[in-house]
A and B are shown apart, each in its own frame.
Chain A
Amino acid sequence: GAGVSQSPSNKVTEKGKDVELRCDPISGHTALYWYRQSLGQGLEFLIYFQGNSAPDKSGLPSDRFSAERTGGSVSTLTIQRTQQEDSAVYLCASSVSYLGNTIYFGEGSWLTVV
Chain B
Amino acid sequence: GENVEQHPSTLSVQEGDSAVIKCTYSDSASNYFPWYKQELGKRPQLIIDIRSNVGEKKDQRIAVTLNKTAKHFSLHITETQPEDSAVYFCAAAGGSYIPTFGRGTSLIVHP
Contacts from A to B (Cβ < 8 Å): 31, 33, 35, 41-43, 45, 48, 50, 55-56, 59, 91, 98-108
Contact = CB atoms under 8 A, between A and B. Distances in A.
Contacts of B30: 100
B93 A100 contact: yes
B11 to A, nearest CB: 15
Contact of A107 (B43, B99, B100): B43
Closest 8 CB pairs of A and B: A100-B94, A100-B32, A42-B103, A105-B43, A43-B101, A98-B97, A42-B104, A100-B93
Interface of B: 30-32, 34, 36, 42-46, 49, 51, 89, 93-94, 97-104
A55 B46 CA distance: 25
A70 to B, nearest CB: 20
Contacts of B104: 41-43
Given A42-B103, A43-B101, A105-B43, 7 more contacts: A35-B101, A42-B89, A100-B32, A100-B93, A100-B94, A102-B34, A104-B46
A41 B102 CA distance: 11
Contacts of B36: 105
Point out which of A35, A100, A101 has the most chain B C-beta atoms below 10 A from its C-beta.
Answer: A100
Nearest to B97: A98
Given A43-B44, A107-B43, A108-B43, A101 B32 contact: yes
A65 B101 CA distance: 21
B100 A102 contact: no
A102 B49 contact: yes
B46 A102 contact: yes
Contacts of A100: 30-32, 51, 93-94
